[in-house]
Amino acid sequence: MHRPASLPWLLPGDDFPPLESAWGAHDPAPGLLAGGGALDVATLVKAYSQGVFPWYSGNQPILWWSPDPRMVLPTAEFRLHRSLKKTLRSFQRQQGCELRVDHNFEHVLRACAAAPREGQDGTWIGPDMIEAYLALHAAGHAHSFETWIDGQCVGGLYVVSVGRALFGESMFARRTDASKIALAALVAFCRRHGIGLVDCQQNTAHLASLGAREWPRARFARHVAAERTQAAPEAWRFDPADWELLLAPARAQSAPAARPPHLHEA
């Protein structure tokens, strides 16, 4: 019978073990890298800079993950289905509809905590995670994309940013397609700023339907290592004109203001 390797236990400030030491496909929790450590800003930035993220429920210790393969969304390959394109056109035209960035990060974070991930019971965003990501937002490494209708935030998502490496975390919707509108805005923002990839962490049918696909962990780690040293966007805001980066015919789209994205091949 296969026995998993013992799980490294981290003390605050310890380095993460090599990614390839994470539990594999035949272990009880594939992708599990280590336990323990801390959730302070420095540790979180160090983790994401290596392609590692925390994920655990309230009755568990801090657990750190580096799955193989890794689900990613190349922003050039985002699938704008006909129904979503129609929704975005309507959102553009209607009074009282607005896409905001970082207007109320805490609201988005707490709304995501109340909306479990696809296929999961309960939430992984407990009080300590909320506190940690609020601190990460205050430090400029976490951002929210928010769908507002008639003065209410009805959907959104939040991401972690280290340089130009971008990591999607969670989303919520209180109206039909509200989270998809926020995701489309994120993709348009990324295209404008030359960000070629959004990490999605784990495979879901919903993400795959929008163009996300799996990368080997080693390829993803190379991408993160290259992008984390690049300058992050100077201004985290959404320009309504950027909707056309999704909605206009490809030949009519303007080129991104920043350098073109470079995705690393295996």
Protein fold of 9-67 = Alpha-Beta Plaits (3.30.70)
Please state the domain extents for the chain: 9-67, 71-250
pLDDT above 70 for 118: no
Separation CA 1–CA 10 (nearest Å) = 27
Q: Are 16 and 50 in contact (CB under 8 A)?
A: yes
Mean pLDDT, rounded, for 24-28: 93
Separation CA 32–CA 36 (nearest Å) = 12
Strand-pairing partners, residue 167, are 160, 199
CA atoms within 13 A on the CB side of 176: 5
First to last CA, the chain: 33
**Residue 188 in tokens:** 């348009």
Q: What is the pLDDT of residues 233-244, one digit of tens each?
A: 999 999 999 999
Q: Are 55 and 194 in contact (CB under 8 A)?
A: no
In percent, the amount of the chain with pLDDT more than 70 equals 89
pTM over 0.85: yes
Assigned CATH for 71-250: 3.40.630.70
Q: What is the pLDDT of residues 54-74, one digit of tens each?
A: 999 878 999 999 999 999 999
pLDDT above 70 for 215: yes
**Residue 234 in tokens:** 């100077």
- Residue-level pLDDT at 57: 87
H or E, element range at 184:
helix 178-192
Q: Who wins on pLDDT, 142 or 116?
A: 142
